[in-house]
Each structure stands twice: as structure tokens, then as C-alpha cells.
Structure 1
């Protein structure tokens, strides 16, 4: 069955915590007066210590106990990334209940489905917009007893304010001082902690059942790497309804660093300049956009200096990664360029970044090498919702660009005869909620998770993801094509690209649908006398098509003949979550786009 396999011994840091609740209270005991969280209040960043956060968590957990929540009962959170999300999540788990995560962009029908399928008794809703979804579908939610609003007032009946539940909890603690600590101490490691519904590129979302042991294991493993401690600060913007965002909270509890929280994607770069974090996690699209923004800001003499700097930077980066010495003339040139160019690039990201983490989707190697040349290391990792996010990662002192690193300590990986990556370890889910057949399809009888991803392991255990099993297609000529590899290459070379999707299943050649990044193409238009032209008109213009065509030609020159893009079109809009073309974690719903653009795709093959 197994072509290649790797196992890493359990060398995670020692932890007496068996659940996330005691993990939290252990951290509070160790770091009581140190900064835990930083949030924006009226445009100003304000801090909370671990002790201050603990007082709020314990009061909110007690409020849930007063409302009657029982062990493993589900409590939903429908909100964007903010401090209150973390407060609610920790309170739910400290009360022995389990968090059901709901993206704030989820439509009303799917929100109702998730809360109904999960049997959620209570739900924390961010604001009136989230509350309206629940009101509109209240008839489909007979088991939902109360809604708790982060922003807004209660109605004295079905809706409570966050302040109402905090006050209820404080009263409960006056009468039962140890209620929350007693409930927390009774939680077993196998008890349900979180129900995360996969946003899914097709079909109804599936609820992934993750036990406390998975999150404790993730946090302890990351702490065991020894790369983060109480002096670090992360900028946390990732959706906390997604496993990648959630695992960073587990890491925070285990390592003790502080988190500055702001879920607004358009404020990431601005916040980095203000907060000056030491590390940050992000999806590849964020790195692609940051790369494009920096590259496009260079003009004239400045651009020539910039290009010369990165030519030197890449040479130095490559030699250092290969363990080779840097010749004195090259080292001198690099020192000059570091002062003139690379230092300024690092300042864009706050100037204190020690490393960044990329996950959720494949990171193009060219992008990783560009950042590394500027002195910004991106540690790429790999995992799924079904593995509580992390299963592989490159280490700070042991990394290989283009790979997702080595398997987490205490877990195992194997590659089966079809090239599929399979994982076994404490982070693997218990199964899909209410879906025994789907669980049986995904988990082998001996506990291995079938990831659906193709991959290769090198002799040192570094994993390279080569694509999705289902995304690989065969042309009518019998040649296999891996669309993500082609798409990633194009995204790295074209700073104006929003998305690229390659198609050609059972056809005699490959075609592509493109979108352009609105901000990037708008800047291009300003520079080429077309400023103010609406996006829909820009993408139809001959000048834009000619410019993009040059990038397509460059792409094709690097591909095998059967992979080359023979025909292509630029869509009149960028893909979006609102149009159901992207998942909330920014993955493309390929089948949705294909169905929407069926006529256009068919026209490529008409004679």
C-alpha cells in the first residue's frame, strides 16, 4: 500500500493540559500580567493582560453555565475575526461545550443549515446583519434557544447582549465560585471541542469533529519548535472560523505570545506598519498581493536599482540555502542593497518580522524566493481542517522552499500507490458530524486520513504537494495536466493577475479564465493614460489584452507543449465570496466558475 512513509517521534513540549480550557488557565497562571491581546477601540490599539482576559472568559463561561449549557453541546459563533470571537470560543470550551464556527459571509440558508445540523443551542452573533440571518430562518432553528450579540442590545427574550451574559456569569460565580474551573477540569482529551464546517468547493458543508486533544497537540507541538515565546507578537487577521486561524490561538496558549487582532484584510499592511509584529500567518494570496504591490511601485531608475538588488538577493539566498559561502564581492553588493532596497521592503511589513507562515493553499516557490531574497522568510506549512490545521511545517532552522516541510512530531505520513498523502496522528479529526459514510470514505480502518492531495516525500521527509487528485485532468491526447501548478506559476509572474483557472478535461488543448486584481490594474491604467476607466471596460481593452497576452506567452514558454494555454479570456469581474466563486478562506470554487462560464469555455473549442 505505502510507497513511502515517514514518522517523527513525539518530541513535543511537556504539557499537563489535557484540554484547551486547562491549557488556557495554565497560561494565565504563567503569564498573568503580560500582554495577551491587543485590539482596536475607536481607532486606537488597546491591550489586555492574560489576567484581564481570564476574568472575562470565566464570567462568560459562567454565563453559559447559568443558561444551562451542558458538556459537548454546541454553541455557534457567527462573526468576523475580533477579540470577542476568541473570548466566546474560550468561554465555550471552558464551559465544557463545543464551538460551532460560522463564517460571517455565509449566506442565511447555509448559516441555518450549519446551526441546525450541529444542534447548536446558543449562538454568538457579531451584529444585526448576522442576527437578521437567524431571524429570517428562525423556523428552521427550533433548537436555538438564545442569540448573544457582540454589537447591539438584547430584546429581553430571544436575544441577549454580550454584557447581559457577562453579568449573568458574574452573578453565577458569586454563588458558585468554582463552577467554571470544576467544569474545565472534568473535560477529557477526547471530548468534542470544535465543530468546523468545511466551506467546501462543492456540495453542502461537512462538520469536522475536532477533540480537545487535537488543539492541545497542535499548540504543544508548535511550542516544542522553540521559535515562539512570550516576547513575540502576531498580527492575527485570519478568519477564526477557519482551522488555520483557530490553530494560532492554540499556539498562543502554548507559547504565551500576544496577538494584535483585526480581521480586515484591506488593513493588513497598514496594521503591520503600526503594530510591528514579529510573525504573521497568511494565505498565499496575501503574499501574492503584497509582492505585486511592492513590485508595481517601482519606476524608472528606482526600478532598475530594485531589479539589480533582487538579482543579487536571489543569488545570496540560493547560496545560503545550499550551505555555500557568499563570495566577498557578492556579500558587499548584498550589504549595499540591503540598506537601499531590502530594508525598505521589510519596513513595509513593520520591520520586526522574524518569519511568516503560509498555509491554506500552495505557495508559489518564486514568491517564497522573492521574499527570502528580501530577508523575509516564509515558512510554508500544510494541513486540513480535518487535521486541526497543522500537520507539516518548515522549521526556522530547517526549511526548504517549495516544500511544506516535515510532518509534525508525533504524527506519521505515507504516500499510497496513487500518490495520495495520508496522515495519522493526534490532530486527525474524529469524523464528520452526522455523516458516517463520508467519515468511512475519508478515514481508513486503521486511522489514516485520506487527504485527497498528491505529494512526494524526499529522503529527509520534506513533503512537496503536487496537486489535488481530483484536480488533475487528462486531455483528449492522453496527457495529464495539473492546473494548480500552471496557475501558481502565472500568478507569480504577472503582478496584475487576480486569479487564473486552467481547464481542458477530455479536450484537445488547455484554455484559461483570468481575472485581474482591481487595485493592480487600476494602477496600471493610471500609468498608461487610462485612469478612471471602469474595470469592466479595462479588461476588454486591446491594450490590456496585449499586456496580459505577453505574460501568457512567457508562461507558455515554460510549459510542456500539451500544457500550454491556447485560448484565454479575462472575466469582467474578479472572483468573490459574495458571488459564491470563492470559499471564505479564499479557495476558488472551480466547479462553480466552470458552470457559470460554461458557454464561454465551450466557445473556445468551436471551430
Structure 2
């Protein structure tokens, strides 16, 4: 076996794994550590912009050589504080240069970088601290500090706590400001740090990501190696044809939590790999300031999760609704033309007549000048070459809306266990509803296929994680002896190896008849037929028939991140088309707006008309009095529906479906 006879997995913090290498592909590229990748960029592109942070009305810029030196200072300071090899540094706070420097500094010092969600409960934080053997924790403000103090009082294990935003208001012996922390580096030599850096191997762990599996089980600790990060980064950058200076510098905006694996790949590691410029959005980005940042920074790549795309769509529609009547007519013509033309291109059904193609090209150019460019400029995305959706379940209506403005949103697929990315859609490799093709040197296999070719998705490649920390049993279930990883998702591959992800094994509903139902395509049918609906969750486990929980599209509270009672402008426009005067969710629920409720009922009937059998029809439904959100706990970071949590929250409503009387039917 290669790599010293190591297996493809380990559950030990100091373990080494066999890399998924092949002799004749990208998978055989020379393995390197995170430091190797960073130092190479810092030397070659020393004076290019690396990080940008807004301080008041001005941007504070770090060049690559400054960024690298700051990470080295942080690493030496961590060593001074007593960070042990293969122990962790926890980081809790909004994305910032201090977050990035702490993470990379911890890795350079021979520890693990561990991102901690600010929404995690003290109990969850305690599990993470104990499991990862956390020596030091870095927080951004006093609110997060107080949460850590609760854990510190119980465990008494932290060697230091570092606060990098706001002045420290709490007196603690082991509490350091950011400046005081970095000053500790002065007493640690470069040689001491270099010896630790040189001892690190590509097939050893450098970061741990915690993945909540259920509401009752402790989170699983996903071990990510140096090679997982550096190889996946290089493969992704090559697939997306990213540029490096002086050919051109990529520009990205960081706003989704860096404790999320995929965010780290795109925000921290890809910019380092290609010497891109990363700008941090303000902490109120998801409360409305993101648009201002995008317009100012002008990114060359942008990604969002489904609710972010829905939010951007609503901003655009609000702008369009305030336009003059003539402008509305132009936009409607342009968007209809754009959708027809781009869908025709994507399915390769261009008309053979040259004169007609030329006419379409000229009219498309006119639509681009009059409407498409304005929409891109409004969102600050006019320099973006590629737009990505990072979560499952983006509504087809949202995809079509952006496509009609010549802003195709590409899908990718990946889990924390495959370093966030396994397949990518690109302009050159695109299929409608597909998540694209596997990274070069990685492989996808569909096991236990049914008659339609649908089965369990298994993957192989150097993006496959090392294993679950301190959990050998679940690691062995996840990765087999040949290195193939069972994702837990199911889908199909077409003849050209495009992957279509259709759901998760844990989402399957088993009726009392024993029939197994995949809820995802049924839920998508409902959303397609009822554009005012945001989320649909089917229920019916061990019940005689399916029922549905529905939420409507509501605005987001800019202070809390929770949904408001007010409907989005898109939803209000839909109500107006129905001749309904409702503008709030409460107008529809508490006053039982007959126009909207009848529209929803007709949409359910239309979805049922497409059902392949009676068992896949929705027999009863209820409209919930609040939209789902990350802040509310119903959604994960990538807006994946937390079905078990939602079922627990609405168990009374679900029980009513199967009583003699129902709420709606």
C-alpha cells in the first residue's frame, strides 16, 4: 500500500491516511501542506491584495506577504500560550481577517482549526471543546466570550481566550486582546515555528468540522487533512478556470460562516491558491448591507445558499415594481427573450437558419444592454463570471428568474466529508437540474440502482475526509477498504457523468403500507405550482398517507435574521394577480384569505395530478404561521431542511392530520 501502508481512513487525531492517488490523472499531483501552498503564494505574489476589511468608510488592506507574516505571528503566539500538537484552537465569530489568521495560524502551529457556530448551545460547545481537546479559543465579542466563560467555568481547561473585536470588559487572567495576543509572538523564534511546520505531513489532520447529524446525537467531528484542503482547492480552481495575477486577480466576498466547510474552501483556500483578493462583508451582511458590499467590491465569483438567492430575487423584483410602465414592458420583453434563448442554448437546440440566429443574436444584445446589465449592476455582480448555489433545493422559479437576466446559477455538490466540493457545474459542463461533473481525479459511483438508474451516491478522491475524530465505528461505515465513501445521498448519473442529486437517505418517508417515498421531487412540484410558497415539508412516517407543512415567502428581519410577518414583494405581487389585498402572512392565516387559500389548494391539486401513484399524493396540508429560517432553527447553514427539528416543533399540527378532523384538506 502507498503512504507507508496506511489505510484510507483513521479516527486518531495524530493518524495518517493513504491518499486517493492514481498514476495517470490530476489525482496524482504532488501532495503539499497548507503552509506549502500559502508560502508559495506569499513569495510569488507578495504585494498583491490578499484581504480587505471595512473600518468605518475605508478598507484596511493586507497584502499576501503581510497576511502570511500575520499568520506566522499568530502561530508563534499560540505556541507561547501552550497549544499542543494535534490539539485545537476554537474560533467563534463573524468572518474577519482575525478569523482567517487564527485558523491558519493554528494549523501552522501544528494544531487543528475548529470553527464554532455562534448559534451553538453551551452544551454543543462543551462537546466540541472536549472532543477536539481544545487548548485555546478565539472569540470576536463579549457576547460570545460570555458563552465560552460558561464552558470554561465547567471544564477549566482553556489555556487562553482571545477576543479580537470590542474592548474586553471582563477581567480574566487568561483573556487577551488581539494585540496582546500577537505580541506574545516576540518571544518565540522563527526556527521553533519552522521545525513544527516542517514536521507536518499532507496526510495528517489540520482542521475539524462538526456536523450535526440528529437533534439527539452529539455532532460528528469531520477530520480534514492538509491534502484534503490543498488538493480540493487546486482541483476546484482548475475546474472553474480561475485566474492568477498578472493575468487577472479573482475577487470574492466572504459573508457565509467560515465554520462551514464549503465556505472555507471558497473564502480562505481558493483565494490563497490563486492569489485572489478576499473582502469581508460587514456583520450585518445578511441583514441588508451585502448589496452595498457587492456593489463596492465587484466580485468575480459569487455564491449563495437558496434563501440568499431568494432574497436577491426579491430585491430585484422590488426595484422592478417601482419602475415606470415603459421600463416594465422592456424588462418583461428582455427577460422572456433571455429565458427562451438561454434554455435553447443549454439544451443545444439552436435553430439551423443563419439569418434567424443573427437576428436572435442582435435582439439578445439589445436585451443585454437594456435590462441584463442593469440587473447585474444593481446587485453588484456585473464583473461576476460565475454564480453558484451552495445548498440543495433552490426553486426552479428562482433559477429561471436569474437565467432570464442572463445570470445562470450553477449548482455544485459536496458534503463536509468530501471537503465541501465533489461535483461542479460550469459554463462548459452544464445540464439543467444537474450538480455537474466530479472534480478532475475524483470519481462518482451509483450503487444499488433501481430500474431508473437511481441509487446510493458513493464517491472516491483526494477530497474524501480522513475519518470521524474518536469515532472508529461510524468512520468504518462511511469509508470502505477501497476508499469509497458512502455519502448518504441518492441520485443518478447520466451518460455523460453529470450527477443529479435527488435526496438524502434520511429524508425517505416509509408509509404504514411499507412503501418508501422520496419527498424531495414532490416538494419541488408543489413549489413549482405555488410560487408564493417558500418551503414544503412532507410528513407521513408510518402513517397511511402523505401530508404537507407549507410556509409562504416572507421578508427577513434585518436585526435578528428571523422571518417577518410581511410577505416578500414577489409574494405580494402574486397576491395582487389573484386580486387579493394581503400583504402579510397573518392576513392570509388569521383572516383566512379565500383567494390565496384557494390558489394554494389548486396548486396542491395540480401537483397531485403529476403524481405517479396515489401514495405520492398530498392528502392534507397546513399553512404555518412563520417561514422557516436558519435563526429559527428549522434550516441548516446551507438552508437544508432540518426535518427532525421541524417535525418536533410542529408535532401538534402533524398529529391533527391523522385525526378525524383536519386543518385543511
With normalisation by structure 2, the TM-score equals 0.83
Equivalent position SS for 2:207 = strand
Pairing partner for 1:244 from 259, 262, 265: 262
- The 1:465–1:533 alpha-carbon spacing in structure 2 relative to 1, beyond 3 Å, is closer
- Which residue does the alignment assign to 1:515? 551
CA distance, structure 1, for counterparts of residue 164 and residue 610 of structure 2: 51
Equivalent position SS for 1:453 = strand
Moved more, 510-519 or 19-28: 510-519
1:545 equivalent to 2:576? Answer: no
CA deviation after TM superposition for structure 1 residue 10, in Å: 6.2
CA deviation after TM superposition for structure 1 residue 496, in Å: 3.9
CA distance, structure 2, for counterparts of residue 9 and residue 517 of structure 1: 51
1:189 equivalent to 2:205? Answer: no
CA deviation after TM superposition for structure 1 residue 316, in Å: 0.9
- Which residue does the alignment assign to 1:323? 348
Moved more, 588-597 or 148-157: 148-157
CA distance, structure 1, for counterparts of residue 541 and residue 195 of structure 2: 58
1:257-309 Cα offsets, whole Å, 9 max, x none, are 11111253233333222221111122223223323443465446655544433
- Which residue does the alignment assign to 1:443? 479
Pairing partner for 1:261 from 274, 277, 280: 280
Pairing partner for 2:193 from 180, 183, 187: 180
Contact 2:306 2:639 in 1 (8 A): no
Equivalent position SS for 2:507 = coil
1:162 equivalent to 2:178? Answer: yes
- Which residue does the alignment assign to 1:575? 628
CA distance, structure 1, for counterparts of residue 403 and residue 572 of structure 2: 30
Pairing partner for 2:336 from 289, 311, 320: 311
- Which residue does the alignment assign to 2:39? 25
CA deviation after TM superposition for structure 1 residue 312, in Å: 1.8
Contact 2:529 2:604 in 1 (8 A): no
- The 1:274–1:142 alpha-carbon spacing in structure 2 relative to 1, beyond 3 Å, is same
Contact 1:368 1:401 in 2 (8 A): no
- Which residue does the alignment assign to 1:3? none
Contact 2:208 2:222 in 1 (8 A): yes
Equivalent position SS for 1:99 = strand
Pairing partner for 2:373 from 304, 319, 343: 343
CA distance, structure 2, for counterparts of residue 290 and residue 477 of structure 1: 43
CA deviation after TM superposition for structure 1 residue 147, in Å: 0.9
1:109-133 Cα offsets, whole Å, 9 max, x none, are 2112211221101111121111111
- The 1:378–1:594 alpha-carbon spacing in structure 2 relative to 1, beyond 3 Å, is same
1:463-486 Cα offsets, whole Å, 9 max, x none, are 111111221224456654322223
1:498-551 Cα offsets, whole Å, 9 max, x none, are 422112234343221122333261545698699997654554332253454454
CA distance, structure 2, for counterparts of residue 595 and residue 91 of structure 1: 41
Equivalent position SS for 2:412 = strand
Contact 1:512 1:567 in 2 (8 A): yes
Equivalent position SS for 2:125 = helix
CA distance, structure 1, for counterparts of residue 24 and residue 174 of structure 2: 47
CA distance, structure 1, for counterparts of residue 528 and residue 253 of structure 2: 24
- Which residue does the alignment assign to 1:233? 251
Contact 1:15 1:220 in 2 (8 A): no
Equivalent position SS for 1:160 = strand
Moved more, 45-54 or 104-113: 45-54
Contact 1:105 1:584 in 2 (8 A): no
1:154-182 Cα offsets, whole Å, 9 max, x none, are 7451211111111111x125xx1333333
Contact 2:550 2:623 in 1 (8 A): yes
CA deviation after TM superposition for structure 1 residue 566, in Å: 3.0
- Which residue does the alignment assign to 2:435? 404
- The 1:79–1:60 alpha-carbon spacing in structure 2 relative to 1, beyond 3 Å, is same
Pairing partner for 2:296 from 263, 268, 274: 274
- Which residue does the alignment assign to 1:423? 459
What 5-or-longer segments of structure 2 have no aligned partner? Answer: 1-20, 352-356, 450-454, 556-565, 661-665
1:328-360 Cα offsets, whole Å, 9 max, x none, are 443343233222222222223321111112223
CA distance, structure 2, for counterparts of residue 26 and residue 459 of structure 1: 40
1:194-221 Cα offsets, whole Å, 9 max, x none, are 1100133433211111111100111111
With normalisation by structure 1, the TM-score equals 0.91
Moved more, 396-405 or 58-67: 396-405
CA distance, structure 1, for counterparts of residue 599 and residue 218 of structure 2: 40
Contact 1:199 1:583 in 2 (8 A): no
- The 1:32–1:561 alpha-carbon spacing in structure 2 relative to 1, beyond 3 Å, is same
Contact 1:22 1:184 in 2 (8 A): no
Residues 37-116 of structure 1 aligned to structure 2 (within 5 Å): 37-116=51-130
Equivalent position SS for 1:96 = coil
- The 1:291–1:142 alpha-carbon spacing in structure 2 relative to 1, beyond 3 Å, is same
Pairing partner for 1:383 from 395, 402, 414: 414
1:342-401 Cα offsets, whole Å, 9 max, x none, are 222222332111111222324445533442332223221111101110111123322223
CA distance, structure 2, for counterparts of residue 10 and residue 369 of structure 1: 40
- The 1:197–1:331 alpha-carbon spacing in structure 2 relative to 1, beyond 3 Å, is same
How many residues align structurally?
Answer: 598
Residues 6-17 of structure 1 aligned to structure 2 (within 5 Å): 11-12=25-26
Pairing partner for 1:456 from 480, 488, 492: 492
The Cα RMSD (Å) is 2.8
CA distance, structure 1, for counterparts of residue 319 and residue 25 of structure 2: 45
- The 1:515–1:297 alpha-carbon spacing in structure 2 relative to 1, beyond 3 Å, is farther
What 5-or-longer segments of structure 1 have no aligned partner? Answer: 1-6
CA distance, structure 1, for counterparts of residue 191 and residue 29 of structure 2: 23
CA distance, structure 2, for counterparts of residue 463 and residue 339 of structure 1: 35
- The 1:594–1:150 alpha-carbon spacing in structure 2 relative to 1, beyond 3 Å, is same
Contact 2:27 2:441 in 1 (8 A): no
Contact 2:567 2:583 in 1 (8 A): no
CA distance, structure 2, for counterparts of residue 278 and residue 586 of structure 1: 24
Moved more, 545-554 or 495-504: 545-554
CA distance, structure 2, for counterparts of residue 313 and residue 379 of structure 1: 17
